[in-house]
Structure 1
Amino acid sequence: MPKVPCGGAMKVKFGMCIVAHAPLQEQIRLSVLCEKLGYDTLWFPDHLTFLDQAEGVDAWTVMAAVATQTRKIKLGTAVSDPHRLHPALFAQRAATLDQLSKGRLIVGLGSGESMNLDAFGIPWKDRKVGRVREFVEVFHGLLRGCAMDHDGPLYKLKGARLSVRPYQGRKIPVHLASLGPQMQRLAGQVADGWKPVVIPPTHYDGYFSGIRQAALEAGRNPDEIDRGVPFAFALFDGPQQPTVEQLAAAVRPYAGALVWEPAIEQMGMEWNPPERFRGVGYHTVNPADPESLRLYEEYCRWLPDEMLSRFVVAGPAQRIREQVRAYVQAGVTHFEITNASPDVVSSIVWFACEVMPEFTGRPPTAFARAMNVLIQPLRKLGLMRRLLPKDLDIWKKVGL
């Protein structure tokens, strides 16, 4: 199992998932804030619809807006699928955004979810690994700038040539969301990064082993594959420690998306859901079907608190630091953060100042240090939970 090297921190990247239920202007402001705080990446959900009342805005348009307001932070989809767009249109869109952002795009790609497909007449069950493989092949081929011929089972191209290329002709990295063994094998063969579901640190390297083996067989260096993990945390750092019920309440909205049945079984945890929940989960729920949505919501309420605690980290600062450390020792090189904390702004600042530097090899930015000095006393007194960004007008105070 990989270890943090002695005498220096392993350089790790930290990205922030931008929640879709925030108003568009707040998404842009939060993105700018993350860059000022020193985060490495921003991840945007590429959905047509969501399970809650969030607007299904176009991730690519939002990323384009963010690209004009930022300079360094990388932008990625979490995740796109190979069903809704022809790879030629997808490649054109990606190359255009890569030029606009001056080479900062990462494409996150998976096999899709029912909520974005079934209700729109695209069968989610047609999520063959071969479709993803061919999509990636055509995507990269079209972005090389040469005329392309391709005769595959899904796409037929003859002399196809895109008139746009990525920034400075670079290869746009593709990170694959890989759950099953076939997708993991594909990730080892063709992906620049791996985007799994939540896997506890104790089992992370075991899941990566299939990707490592596939990469070696393909003549690739597995150490060059970016190894991601979704990292949901809720910081409770006030004078009074939260109860188990409060911790569970903070993370339960993310339960269905983060708890993965095969990982539960691998960890040896007892898993005996009622029969009605067999096959129910984030990837299978169809929000256009009232019965499917009702069962999913009931399933999320049923998930035991102890199980949630294995997939979402909630509690005091030290517990969150220790979990990050455990993941890095397991081989994670890229954290994709979902922030479930009661006070979002102060916890983002805290994480940038007091967690990230140990693993990135970089000190906190001057902006992050100044913000932490301003906000930390309020957080320690438990006041930030009552001072939401709208009430505090925090955006104006930090020059956003």
Structure 2
Amino acid sequence: MKILMISATFPYPPTRGGTPIRTFNLLRYLSQRHPVTLVTQRSEDVSDQEVEELRQYVDQLVIFPRPHSDQTQAGTWAKIKRFGEFVLEGTPPSVRSIYSPAMQDWIDQWVNSGYCEAITCEHSVNEIFVRQAWKQQLKTVVDVHSSIYGTCRQQLETHTAEKPLRDRLNLPLLHRYEKRYCSKFSLIVATTVEDRHQLQAFNPEATFEIIPNGVDLDQFPLRTQDPGGHRLIFVGTMDYIANIDAARYFSLEIFPQLRERYGEAKLVLAGARPVPEVSELSKIPGIEVTGRVPSMAEYLHQATVCIVPMRIGFGIKNKTLEAMAAGVPVVASNSGLEGLAVDGANVPLRALRANTTEEYIAAISQLFEDAQLRQKLSENGRNLIESEYTWERVGQRYEQVLSF
């Protein structure tokens, strides 16, 4: 099967997090069994060495420069112009910003020449390069990652939107946009049941598959010992709104109360590109903001408990899977545990659930004081990842949906 993968995000190295992790690992699995052509874009922070390393994993690598975006232009007129284009064209500015006419021409010629039997869009923004008519002649798949309409609505409902007025204006337009692009594909892939429900409302007749994220067990080995103590960790890229909100929520509302109970408690906020709103949290006694770290697994292994206090965002969370793979007990919100069976009837206890300040303090205190419970969550969490969430298993499922 000849596969064309479209990813405006350069998917290497996978340590960049988020979209690159999923795209690279799916690409790596498929390329071992099928000829894969990857068409992508290169931003200024991508090195020549990274390009050459990625080239080893594909049959053909086609790279276009990242288009210059007017997204950063400030001023009332620039904002009105972007909104007007959204209304008239039906495509969000964040999606239009990746559009490259040269890249579109290359994809058109590749498809029209019959060089591929299946197209995958790795993240929904890449739908902009796919023609409606192609669904009639080959398999077209969009790997959504998460619903942008659902995320926008959730941020408004939880009062976590950065720009509420803008988002309220955009919400009906995003609804129209997702409904339109969902109709272009022969298959839509979501990472969780919850995200599928978001998307299914747009096109009930569409074919959906749920394919979660995975973990590279070589990069996240099981820790060899429980460090004990009162050390917490939260991981993620720290310029992403959902992670910024989670870091600030826990640091400002929960951690000070834990610190009153456990005077030596420490919270590590580990992840690349911390914005000022995150960096300033290091002024709070007991909190360390690391920036990019050489090995996230090593930082996880040093933690007593990993917290995932997400309040917004859909889809399965890499940070939760990686902590469980590393054998670190997890305390997480419903959002942080989305898509995972970790508690309830006939389910081994694999993580503790918390959604309020009181629940976080109770769950974390319980783990601080109970080594046997920490060991139980460590073993059960690792067993879940080994049985259900390796990239090998995820890749197999992705290959299956492309083949039928």
TM-score range for the pair, normalised by the shorter chain length = 0.3 to 0.5
Higher RCO (CA < 8 A, seq sep 6+): 1
TM-score relative to the length of structure 1: 0.36
